Structure 1
Amino acid sequence: MIPALQFVARRSEERGHADHGWLKAFHTFSFAGYYDRNHQQHGPLRVINEDRIAPRKGFGTHPHREFEIFTYIVSGELEHKDSMGNTEILKRGDLQMTSTGTGISHSEKTYGGKELHILQIWSMPSQNGLTPKYFTRHFSDEEKKDKWARVVAPAWEEDVKASVRDGTSGPAPVNSALTLYATILSPGQSLSRLLSGKKAYVHVVQTSGYNGGEAKGASVRFSGNAGSELELREGDGAYIKVNTQGAVMEVANTGDRKAEVLVFDLD
């Protein structure tokens, strides 16, 4: 019997890796000087960079177009400025979304004296030529503790449109067939997640510190039916093929510390 979910590990130490001194980066997909034809894109998901940026360092003003760019703040503070007039200091729990559309320019750097740890994620838009837009959302650790927080969702979903229109809280709107869930799972706890798309990607955030070798830290088991399962540690990720419509994935923290987990549900 074909399992409802099939997992292919993307181990942390196999990711692209760049150490520029002020910037230590891991690349899940081909990016900048890192190229691997086997890891270029997964559905609309194009970039997952796990970056650590030294205090008072960062990326000077540079342009982007035709990408949906969102930044998940793990620790530290980020100073953002862009050509749309947005200036903001972002901190732990914040999620910033820039729909670059026909073109924007921005700068991003560490604010304050502590190292900045972020996940920068890019997806391909469902259509080109969109008007650039900028959004920020905040999701506290309590909102993620042992439950799923829906932090990004397609801009065309009715509740997402309503939250944007009314200025209320809700997931950041993305112009891609992508929904992002986040959780901080306590030791011994487990969660289930219905996957509605044709594929998915999971990532365990490397919160225990920079490690260019084999992943350590938190340990998480992902499983489906028919005995399909995969154990991941911090920095590890996995491609998921969804073979059965409405398949449910089980996520269990099998380690001795909390685990911060991202699940991308993709069409």
Structure 2
Amino acid sequence: MVMKIVPRFSQDRGHADHGWLHSFHTFSFASYHGSGHDAFGSLRVINEDRVESGTGFGTHPHREFEIFSYVVAGELEHRDSMGNIEVLKRGDLQMTSAGTGIRHSEKAYGPNQVHFLQIWSVPDTKGLPPKYYTRHFSDDEKKDTWVRIVAPSRATGVSDNREVTDHSPAPVHSPVTLFATLLSPSVSIPHTFPKPISAASPAKSYIHVVQTSGYNTGKASGATVKVTVGDEVVELKEGDGAYIMGESGKEMNVENVGDRVVEVLLFDVDAE
């Protein structure tokens, strides 16, 4: 089976600047269409959003999506029709399983801009009751290791309890697992490709380098990682991502080849 890496460079992402919102779209979203980047397995949305203080997404509906937010900087206020009200900070991971339908709002809280990633996936079961979860993962926990922050509800070690204190991953009803790391300069970490749902398909992962050093609509800069899969090698900078096809049981390697700590998200997609 061929192993390969297909870069998705930051400057090629969809981009929207509404003044109060600065957003990059990895996949088709809102008015951004026609690029050929519509989804990757059950992943449908990876938006890197910056929302200005005092503004945000007003109350709006969702159905049949798993929606999670990864807070990079600032504070994000979440309110929903299930009665949840919460202010999320750096290190927080919020997940809403929209199921049969919810309404929610997300706004910048406090005096500063909030920078977060909004991620959607398609559940493998329709008509589920809506649910809401938050988890917190500190910078220390993520230092130079992959921390599993979202995982399928059926996976080992995943709790359906909203009040867990053991930092178990948020449960989703999609075949998606999300890992996060803060990788120090000159450090490399491996990741083993899981078994895909379909034996006829390659193992699929998506990697995203968070744009932590500032809003940049041009060519990516800043922190840099080298991704190695078999004979394939690609360098990615802040805002860059890549589709990765591998073989179950084989390893990819992610190395920080820059001069500063780099924040990286890694999705295993459509895996058992």
Per the normalisation by structure 2, the TM-score is: 0.94
CA distance in 2, matches of 1:202, 1:57: 29
Q: Deviations over 1:206-249 (max 9, x none)?
A: 00000000000001000022x2111000000000112x221211
Match of 1:258 among 241, 256, 261: 261
**What is the number of equivalent residue pairs in this alignment?**
262
Alpha-carbon distance in 2 for matches of 1:76, 1:167: 24
1:207 alignment counterpart: 212
How far did residue 127 of structure 1 move? 1.1
Q: Which amino acid aligns with 1:167?
A: V
Answer yes or no: is the 8 Å Cα contact 2:192–2:248 preserved in 1: no
Q: d(CA) in 2 for partners of 1:208 and 1:165?
A: 33
8 Å contact kept, 1:29–1:36:
no
**Deviation, structure 1 residue 165:** 8.1
Partner of 1:152: 150
% same residue: 60
Amino acid at match of 1:232: L
Unaligned runs of 5+ in 1: none
| Residue 167 (structure 1) aligned to one of 164, 168, 172 | 164
The answer for the alignment partner of 2:117 in structure 1 is 119
Out of 120, 127, 136, which is 1:129 matched to? 127
Q: Which amino acid aligns with 1:210?
A: Y
Shift of 1:164: 2.7
- State how far apart, in whole Å, the 1-side matches of 2:264 and 2:59 are: 31
CA RMSD between the two structures: 1.2
Map of 1:26 onto structure 2: 24
SS in structure 2 of the partner of residue 13 of structure 1: helix
Summarize deviations over 1:170-205 as a string: whole Å, max 9, x none. Answer: 000011001000000011111001120421100000
Report the Cα offset of residue 37 of structure 1.
Answer: 4.7
Alignment check: 8 A CA contact 2:51 2:113 kept: yes
Distance 1:165 1:116 in 2: 24
Alpha-carbon shift at residue 38 of structure 1 (Å): 1.3
Secondary structure in 2 matching 1:164: coil
Pairwise CA distance, 1:156 = 1.2
Alpha-carbon shift at residue 166 of structure 1 (Å): 7.8
**In the alignment, does 2:232 pair up with 1:228?**
yes
Shift of residue 167, structure 1, vs aligned partner = 3.1
